[in-house]
């Protein structure tokens, strides 16, 4: 690259455009409500690194302030849009709605009332909640293997727990989730190596790391708050190793509003100490090369391997026996680059290995995760503060959904506890994850689908297949706050129902969420800006409970009691390992 090309490039991520966006939104008609919402004690709506909860809207779990990012403002601003008017669906027919882009769908406004599209009709029609529950009663009185759910991380732990409890009471294990498409490889790989599919690094632990190896992540765009931590690590002399086929300017230098002096006077903070650009899809080869170099440079923690791991010799032998020529040809990096990288983190005491979907969304995603985990173990970077493996989650409560049992691969101890609660053995065999759900629907195996948030149509890699598959399902319920492409493209064969719910900061009852670093936040009650006689919105907890009451009544438990989120938290404490303290949250508030 010549000097002229270099001079025309953006020199840092973040910076003035972020501040400008904040200023524009603050001075808009929504400005006052925006700031009130940002200060509301509820977890951020954006990513799983989001702040908020019981410590306040701008404060993270470490008590640090100024921890809201542009993505958070975007998410809140979107939820503060006016409600869709009563004449909207009379005015716009389906063909017009199907011509919209994803952004145009999002900008239509908030869903304000439930609507139904029947087979052969060209317009959604407003319906009552009584009609919704009548449709639900019919739709869920189907063979258990033909009913399924899909969910995202937009909802609370309480709603997630209700969703899986209801489906398991019906005998279904078809609990697909958006994480099946993004971090499934992390869950599977980490469980094989460590027995747990979640991060072993808390925010407190990350702050004590000497080095972060960040793989396949565009954190400046997708998890801006993480950049604050990387900046602080560099400030105290730590190292940041970036592994990404593409140069992301924010991973080279980032200007964070949380550090105004550096942002305004110095043009931002340096992020990467080393920046490796392997061939896409070659992460396993690169980490085998790093392992081989660690062995050759005598940087393997042999005592740690012998004391705390099993089958380590096979990993060592494989790395030793793999030729350097094979490694460098596969990953596109030189032996010298790999050796320098191994020497950098191999000589440090506390190293965090973090990654996002650039690593997991590959055919060999599980192999990638296992190779990263093995590298952490070879250097003794597991089981201590300031070190470990850290998958960077996307949706703000996607990890909470997994913890609550929204998965086709339910942990045995949770299954046993839920079976005792429901008074019968659970069906935990088979079950459709997200891709299997689409394939089953395409074969006509699904009669009823309940989507708690997300965009199942848009999330699939083959939109034509997704559209055809969803069209084979008799009834689809879409639970949402705003329109997306799936509401107009992913239509059911008979009944497509859109059910409007409150945003997290609007719920009339306290809820909880879990961050990607295993921190559970307590979200206080809120209220909605949507007002008027045409507005008819309920919470996800109320919706799920009302459906369960209509379908199951008091069998095998009194579902009407689950309107109370405090009672749900007591059930969570009894049945979800590691969540015992949630039962006292209403008293402790922490």
User: What is the tens place of the pLDDT at every residue in 359-415?
Assistant: 998 989 999 999 999 999 999 999 999 999 999 987 788 889 999 999 999 999 999
Beta partners for 216?
none
Q: Which of 80, 108, 131 is the last residue of a domain?
A: 80
Dmax of the chain from CA atoms? Answer: 73
Is 70 exceeded by the pLDDT of residue 555? yes
Phi/psi-derived region of residue 332, left when phi > 0, alpha when psi is between -120 and 50, beta in every other case: left
Q: Classify residue 5: in a domain, yes or no.
A: no
Q: Do 94 and 73 reside in the same domain of the chain?
A: no
User: Within this chain, do residues 106 and 190 fall inside the same structural domain, yes or no?
Assistant: no
Question: Do 61 and 27 have their domain in common?
Answer: yes
When pLDDT is averaged across residues 231-258 and rounded to a whole number, the result is: 93
- pLDDT-derived band at 159 (thresholds 50, 70, 90) equals very high
Residues 209, 287 within the same domain? yes
Number of domains in the chain: 3
Residue 136 lies in a domain: yes
- Which tens digits make up the pLDDT trace of 31-41? 888 888 888 88
471 within 8 A of 491, measured Cβ to Cβ = yes
Question: Is 200 found in the same domain as 110?
Answer: no
> Is the pLDDT assigned to residue 3 strictly greater than 70?
no
- Give the CATH number for residue 96: 3.40.50.740
The reply to whether 174 and 190 lie within a common domain is: no
345 found inside a domain: yes
Q: What is the mean pLDDT of residues 167-192?
A: 92
pLDDT at 325: 98
**Would you state the structure tokens that stand for residue 341, as one six-digit string?**
């990288």
**CA dist 401 to 99, 161, 224, 508, 574, Å?**
33, 8, 23, 21, 17
Domain contains 152? yes
Between the alpha carbon of residue 366 and those of residues 161, 187, 361, 384, the distances in Å are 27, 9, 9, 24
Do the domain assignments include residue 310? yes
Boundary of a domain, candidates 45, 65, 80: 80
Residue indicated by tokens 């402790």:
588
The predicted pLDDT at position 73 comes to 85
Which domain-ending residue is among 80, 96, 130?
80
Residue 145 predicted with pLDDT over 90? yes
| Block residue for tokens 């994803």 | 102
Residue 125 shares a structural domain with residue 95: yes
In this predicted model, what pLDDT tens digit does every residue of 256-297 receive, in sequence order? Answer: 877 877 766 677 889 999 999 999 999 999 999 999 999 999
Flag whether pLDDT at 4 surpasses 60. no
Q: Are residues 65 and 167 both part of a single domain?
A: no
**112: domain range?**
87-178+397-588
**Same domain, residue pair 378 and 413:** no
Q: How confident is the model at residue 54 (pLDDT cuts 50, 70, 90)?
A: low
Number of helices (H), then strands (E), in the chain: 32, 17
R_g over Cα of the chain = 24
Report whether pLDDT(6) > 50. no
Same domain, 172 and 35: no
Q: Would you place residue 445 in the very low, low, confident or very high pLDDT band (cuts 50, 70, 90)?
A: very high
pLDDT tens digits, residue range 336-363? Answer: 999 999 999 999 999 999 999 999 989 8
CA-to-CA distance for 185 and 190, rounded, in angstroms? 8
Is residue 53 pLDDT above 60, yes or no? no
Average pLDDT of the chain, as a whole number: 92
pLDDT of residue 10: 63
Asked whether residue 364 is assigned to any structural domain, the reply reads: yes
Is there a single domain that holds both residue 139 and residue 278?
no
Question: Do 214 and 345 share a domain, yes or no?
Answer: yes
Residue 7's pLDDT is 38
DSSP state for residue 508 in the 8-state scheme: S
- Residue 590, pLDDT score: 66
Q: Quick check: is 4 in a domain?
A: no
Crossing angle (nearest 10°) for helices 157-170 and 540-552: 20
Task: Determine which helix (DSSP H) or strand (DSSP E) holds 14, and give its type and residue range.
Answer: strand 13-14
At residue 493, the pLDDT reads 98
Mean pLDDT highest for which of 1-10, 172-181, 291-300? 291-300
The domain that holds 353 is classified in CATH as 3.40.228.10
Task: Tell me whether the omega of the peptide bond preceding residue 27 falls within 30 degrees of 0, making it cis.
Answer: no
Please report whether residue 210 resides in a domain.
Answer: yes
Q: Residue 573 has which token pair?
A: 């404490």
pLDDT at 25: 79
Whether residue 316 has pLDDT greater than 70: yes
pTM as predicted: 0.91
Q: How far apart are CA 195 and CA 191, in angstroms?
A: 4
């Amino acid at each position: 690259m010549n000097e002229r090309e270099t001079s025309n490039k953006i020199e840092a991520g973040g910076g003035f455009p972020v501040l400008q966006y904040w200023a524009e939104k603050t001075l808009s008609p929504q400005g006052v409500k925006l700031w009130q919402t940002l200060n509301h004690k509820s977890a951020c709506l954006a990513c799983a690194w989001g702040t908020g909860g019981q410590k306040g809207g701008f404060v993270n779990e470490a008590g640090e302030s100024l921890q809201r990012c542009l993505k958070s403002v975007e998410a809140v601003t979107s939820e503060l849009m006016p409600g869709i008017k009563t004449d909207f669906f009379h005015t716009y027919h389906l063909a017009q709605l199907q011509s919209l882009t994803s952004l145009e769908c999002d900008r239509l406004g908030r869903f304000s009332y439930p609507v139904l599209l029947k087979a052969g009709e060209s317009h959604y029609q407003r319906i009552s909640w009584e009609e919704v529950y009548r449709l639900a009663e019919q739709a869920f009185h189907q063979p258990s293997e033909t009913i399924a759910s899909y969910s995202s991380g937009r909802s609370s732990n309480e709603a997630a727990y209700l969703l899986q409890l209801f489906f398991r009471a019906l005998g279904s294990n078809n609990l697909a989730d958006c994480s099946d498409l993004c971090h499934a490889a992390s869950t599977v790989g980490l469980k094989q190596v460590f027995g747990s599919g979640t991060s072993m690094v808390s925010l407190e632990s990350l702050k004590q790391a000497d080095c972060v190896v960040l793989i396949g992540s565009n954190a400046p765009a997708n998890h801006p708050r993480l950049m604050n931590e990387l900046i602080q690590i560099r400030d105290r002399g730590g190292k940041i190793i970036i592994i990404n086929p593409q140069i992301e300017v924010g991973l080279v230098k980032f200007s964070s509003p949380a550090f105004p002096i550096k942002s305004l006077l110095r043009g931002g903070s340096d992020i990467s100490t080393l920046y490796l650009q392997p061939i896409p899809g070659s992460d396993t080869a690169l980490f085998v090369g790093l392992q081989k170099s660690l062995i050759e440079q005598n940087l393997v923690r042999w005592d740690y391997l012998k004391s705390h791991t099993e089958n380590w010799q096979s990993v060592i032998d494989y790395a030793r026996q793999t030729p350097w020529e094979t490694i460098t040809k596969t990953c596109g990096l030189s032996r010298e680059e790999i050796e320098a990288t191994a020497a950098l983190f191999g000589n440090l005491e506390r190293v965090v290995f973090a990654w996002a979907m650039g690593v997991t969304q590959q055919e060999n995603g599980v192999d990638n995760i296992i190779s990263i985990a093995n590298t952490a173990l070879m250097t003794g970077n597991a089981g201590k503060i300031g070190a470990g493996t850290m998958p960077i989650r996307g949706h703000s409560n996607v990890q909470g959904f997994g913890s609550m049992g929204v998965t086709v691969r339910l942990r045995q101890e949770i299954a046993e506890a839920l079976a005792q609660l429901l008074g019968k053995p659970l069906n935990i065999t088979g079950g459709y994850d997200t891709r299997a759900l689409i394939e089953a629907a395409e074969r006509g195996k699904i009669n009823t689908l309940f989507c708690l948030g997300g965009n199942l149509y848009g999330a699939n890699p083959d939109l034509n297949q997704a559209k055809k598959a969803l069209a084979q399902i008799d009834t689809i319920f879409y639970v949402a706050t705003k329109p997306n492409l799936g509401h107009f493209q992913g239509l059911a064969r008979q009944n497509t129902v859109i059910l409007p719910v409150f945003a997290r900061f609007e719920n009339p009852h306290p809820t909880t969420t879990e961050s990607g670093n295993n921190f559970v936040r307590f979200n206080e009650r809120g209220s909605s800006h949507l007002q008027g006689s045409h507005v008819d919105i309920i919470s996800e907890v109320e919706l799920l409970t009302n459906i369960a009451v209509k379908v199951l009544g008091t069998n095998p438990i009194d579902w009407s009691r689950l309107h109370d989120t405090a009672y749900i938290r007591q059930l969570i404490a009894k049945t979800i390992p590691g969540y015992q303290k949630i039962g006292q949250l209403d008293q402790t508030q922490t």
